[in-house]
Structure 1
Amino acid sequence: MVDKDKILIIGGYGTVGSIVSRQLALQYPSKIIVGGRNKDKAQMLIEQNGLNAKAIYLDVEKERLKEVDFNEIHTAVSCIETMNISFILECLQFNINYTEVGASFKAHKRFFELSDYIDNADCLVIPSVGLVPGLSNILAFNGAKQFAEIDEIHTYVILGLGESHGVDSVRWMLEKANSSFKIKTKKGSVGVKGFTHPRSTRLLNEQRERTFYLFDFSDHHAIPLLVDTKAIDTRIGFDSKVITYLFYLFQKIGVLKWFKNISPKRFKKVLDFIRIGSERFGLQIEINGKDSLGMQYSIKYLATGENEALATATATSYASELMYLNKTQKGLKHIEEVCDFDELKGYLEKHNVKILNTSDYENDTVQPSGKPGTYGTTS
């Protein structure tokens, strides 16, 4: 009888996947299977890092899974975003735990469409782990427990342009740069576009404010599924303030609409060649609301480090280990429902990702409506 004790990492040699493969292979030698459309790259990763792991060929998009022995897999981790559900259904049939790094809410929603299949399977399924969504949801969920009533949740993401980003993440950024989407405000759902509605805030580890712009990360769609808030939005900025402002200008003059036609591979080569800025990233959650006495206050959480891909991968590895060691949780769960915040914090800090937080009753993060760049009652 084959032991059902392997962790399959799909896209396990990509920018994020290679880190997940290394982290888990060191923790669970001989238990890791690195899979993807290029078996040679998977094998090269294993040999170059001296990992005790196995390489296989699989293509979840084209449903080429001949080398996959589902009987030996305990947990499957996808480090690529795909809309194909056939592989997930296969995992459910064999009661395999499943999680993935998913940046879009479209990918997130397909798990709800599979809820009947998940309920009938004897496994744990966690959608959208990583940084945003994933860690952002955990910070919001943990912070929300400290409020009796939540008025607003704002997420700020700062990306380092000096970091070498994967082709998939570059492709996603180009597609989303000019996207139209809806956000939840106190006046209801409002239609907006990427890189609009500037809002300034100070990150906890910085002395001066930065300006951030709306962006369609999926966490502002996913967080309200578990956290009751009147308004929520997510904004983006780059470590280079000049580049951040350029994207805002490109949006104003209509240039951003052409970005989706740019080749992700070519754009990545340009970024890798120029390397403007640093590798530093930041993820700050700000929650504004009331305590049990009706007093208005706010809290902030900041996750920060020197490599966004490392942080994404480490959060993914944590979720993977949680599933691999899990013996009680079953069904469809969000990562914030099943993780221990203090445990996760310690796990991240081992990989140089720090989580800072502060709270004050002076409400210094809430801005009154009507200022430039605001819409309705949130900005």
Structure 2
Amino acid sequence: MGRNEDRPGAPIVIVGAYGAVGRVAAHTLTSWYPERVIVAGRDPARAREMVLSGGAARAIRVDVTDPGDIARMLDERPAVVVMCVERGNAAVARACLERGVHHVDISATAAILNEIAELDSLAVRHAATALLSVGVAPGLSNVLARHCVEALPSARSVDIDLLLGMGGAHGDDSVRWVVANLAAGNAPGRADRIRVRLRGFGVRTVHPFPFSDQYTIRDKLGLPATTRMCFDSAAATSLLFALRSARFFEAARRLRAERLITSLFSRLHFGSRRFVVQARAADAHGAAVSSTVTGLGTARATGVVTALAVRRLLTGDAAPGVRHLDELVPVGQFIDELHEYGMTVHHDPPPQDDRFGPRITTPDDPANRP
């Protein structure tokens, strides 16, 4: 187990804690660990506001692109550092692991996770854990995919379907990531869009998108996997992916207008706050199982999942090395905790025991109707 489990009073540092995700993670962790949470970032005023709001014990200024700042942050002797930004992630992870400090990263970018994955032997050598795929997708999607494959050992493929509500708060990094990947277009050879039934929204069109979970599932579970997404507004989904096909976002990137588009997206709050993340595993004979989590607010859900993962690390529930959320704890135990935070889990067909939540999904369930 990680060497930090024997230092129960050690700080919990959250980088980017004043963002949409980090704020939820900080407040949740502070409710469990008063006086231990330190918020860190480049904006001291926003960090201090977190302290005044009761979301942290202290604030420190940290620019994660500055090695000196990273060193000073680690001089606080934290038990864990949580990265809620996509900036210098691999460098921060390396610095943490070299000091035997746990590292949690909410990034959804496969290239970043691959860089951190290369630090596995370093983490093992220093008895620390780097935890990746923490959030909704990746994160809950990985957990649900593993459950489906465990429930259907004959599975030959996995599909992840994600519906994101356009209402509510959007994290700046999350919006920036979506816009950047719309600009990247649909890579040759990538799976096409399909029509699927999403709980509470009926049949919707979902489009391939480069969330890292599909690559992790292929690597860890040895099965081909594809992640697709849509928004709660069918019209907005059609428009945005039509613009992607027309290379509008690619042109905007060439014209250096991505920042403007990201700013506009960040201010869009029409639609609902609901999200759906669904995993489906199927075999060659037509047998299939699916598991779904529904809830309100992807940023809030990501912050809650991050806090739950940190709590698991602090209790020693992780072997040293680079791990993903579905490798941290048994699937059923983690899913049980989600109900306490307004998220609901559905399985089809229902499991034969109570380890995986309520037995409430059937093919003609009214919640599956438009």
Bigger mean CA offset, 132-141 vs 340-349: 340-349
1:269 & 1:175 partners in 2: Cα distance? 13
Match status 1:297 vs 2:282: no
Unpaired segments ≥5 residues, structure 2: 1-6, 351-362, 364-370
CA contact (8 A) 1:141 1:226 kept: no
Q: Which residue of 1 aligns with 2:131?
A: 126
Tell me how many residue pairs correspond in the alignment.
343
Indicate how the Cα distance of structure 1 residues 264 and 340 shifts in structure 2: closer, same or farther if over 3 A, else same.
farther
The structure with more strand, counted as a fraction of residues: 1
TM-score by length of 1: 0.84
Bigger mean CA offset, 10-19 vs 242-251: 242-251
| 1:4 Cα offset (Å) | 5.7
Partner amino acid for 2:235?
V
Q: Which residue of 2 aligns with 1:251?
A: 244
| 1:92 Cα offset (Å) | 1.6
CA contact (8 A) 2:17 2:40 kept: yes
Indicate how the Cα distance of structure 1 residues 355 and 258 shifts in structure 2: closer, same or farther if over 3 A, else same.
farther
CA contact (8 A) 1:12 1:79 kept: yes
| 1:204 Cα offset (Å) | 2.9
CA contact (8 A) 1:61 1:84 kept: no
Match status 1:314 vs 2:304: yes
Match status 1:224 vs 2:218: yes
Which of 5, 11, 20 is 2:16 aligned to?
A: 11
Identity %: 24
Which of 272, 275, 284 is 2:269 aligned to?
A: 275
Secondary structure at the residue paired with 1:61?
Answer: coil
Secondary structure at the residue paired with 1:65?
Answer: helix
TM-score by length of 2: 0.85
| 1:149 Cα offset (Å) | 2.1
RMSD: 2.3
Q: Which residue of 2 aligns with 1:285?
A: 279
| 1:273 Cα offset (Å) | 4.7
Indicate how the Cα distance of structure 1 residues 265 and 14 shifts in structure 2: closer, same or farther if over 3 A, else same.
farther
Unpaired segments ≥5 residues, structure 1: 183-189, 365-379
Partner amino acid for 2:189?
G
Partner amino acid for 1:36?
G
Bigger mean CA offset, 314-323 vs 51-60: 51-60
1:163 & 1:214 partners in 2: Cα distance? 24
| 1:167 Cα offset (Å) | 1.5
Q: Which residue of 2 aligns with 1:56?
A: 60
Which of 84, 95, 107 is 1:102 aligned to?
A: 107
| 1:118 Cα offset (Å) | 1.6
Which of 314, 338, 352 is 1:324 aligned to?
A: 314
1:264 & 1:254 partners in 2: Cα distance? 13
The structure with more helix, counted as a fraction of residues: 2
1:166 & 1:264 partners in 2: Cα distance? 16
Which of 6, 16, 41 is 1:36 aligned to?
A: 41
